[in-house]
Amino acid sequence: MNAEPVRVHVLTLGGTIAMTARDAGQGVVPALDAADLLASLPAAPAGVHLSHGDFRRLPGAHLTLPDVVDLRAEIDRSAARGCDGVVVTQGTDTLEETAFALDLLGGGDTPVVVTGALRHPGRPGTDGPANLLDAVRVAASEAAVGTGVTVVFNGEVHSARYVQKRHTERPSAFASPGLGPLGWVTEDRVRIPLRPARVPPLPLPAPAGPAPVALVTAVLGDDVRLLPHLPDLGYEGAVLAGFGAGHLPNRTVADAEALAARIPVVLASRTGAGELYRNTYDFPGSERDLLARGLIGAGAVSPLKARVLLSLALGAGLSREAVAAACDALSA
Helix (H, G, I), strand (E, B) or coil at 21: strand
Q: Domain for residue 205, yes or no? A: no
Amino acid 69: pLDDT: 96
Query: Do residues 250 and 288 share a domain?
Result: yes
DSSP string over 71-128: HHHHHHHHHHTT-SEEEEE--GGGHHHHHHHHHHH--SSS-EEEE--SS-TTSTT--H
Q: Domain for residue 207, yes or no? A: no
- 151: which strand partners? 114, 158
**133 burial type by CB count under 10 A (0-12 exposed, 13-18 middle, 19+ buried):** buried
Query: Do residues 130 and 243 share a domain?
Result: no
How many angstroms separate the CA atoms of 241 and 219, rounded?
9
How many angstroms separate the CA atoms of 208 and 24, rounded?
43
Amino acid 299: pLDDT: 95
Q: Domain for residue 203, yes or no? A: no
Amino acid 2: pLDDT: 55
Helix (H, G, I), strand (E, B) or coil at 134: helix
DSSP character at residue 196: P
Amino acid 332: pLDDT: 78
Tell me the CATH number at 306: 3.40.50.40
* pTM, rounded to two decimals: 0.95
Q: Are the C-beta atoms of residues 85 and 6 closer than 8 Å to each other? A: yes
**43 burial type by CB count under 10 A (0-12 exposed, 13-18 middle, 19+ buried):** exposed
- SS3 letters for 219-256? CCCCCCCCHHHCHHHCCCEEEEEEECCCECCHHHHHHH
Query: Do residues 12 and 43 share a domain?
Result: yes
Q: Tally helices (H) and strands (E) across the chain.
A: 8, 16
Q: Choose one of 122, 156, 191: the last residue of a domain.
A: 191
Query: Do residues 269 and 312 share a domain?
Result: yes
DSSP character at residue 4: P
Positions marked active-site: 16
Q: Domain for residue 198, yes or no? A: no
Query: Do residues 165 and 255 share a domain?
Result: no
Query: Do residues 53 and 147 share a domain?
Result: yes
Query: Do residues 256 and 168 share a domain?
Result: no
Contacts of 75 (CB under 8 A, 6+ apart): 11, 86, 88, 102, 106, 110, 112
- How many independent structural domains does the chain possess? 2
Query: Do residues 22 and 141 share a domain?
Result: yes
- 268: which strand partners? 241
Residue 68 belongs to what domain range? 6-191
Query: Do residues 134 and 101 share a domain?
Result: yes
Q: Are the C-beta atoms of residues 311 and 237 closer than 8 Å to each other? A: yes
User: Of 48, 75, 74, 60, nearest to 18 (Cα)?
Assistant: 60
* Low-confidence residues of the chain: pLDDT under 50: 1
Q: Domain for residue 202, yes or no? A: no
Query: Do residues 44 and 152 share a domain?
Result: yes
Torsion, Cα of 113, 60, 75, 162 (10° steps):
40
Q: Domain for residue 206, yes or no? A: no
Helix (H, G, I), strand (E, B) or coil at 136: helix
Amino acid 25: pLDDT: 66
Tell me the CATH number at 72: 3.40.50.1170
Determine the distance from the C-alpha atom of residue 152 to the mean position of all C-alpha atoms in its chain, rounded to a whole number.
Answer: 12
How many angstroms separate the CA atoms of 330 and 202, rounded?
12
Q: Choose one of 160, 191, 222: the last residue of a domain.
A: 191
Q: Domain for residue 274, yes or no? A: yes
How many angstroms separate the CA atoms of 38 and 40, rounded?
5
Query: Do residues 130 and 180 share a domain?
Result: yes
Query: Do residues 22 and 133 share a domain?
Result: yes
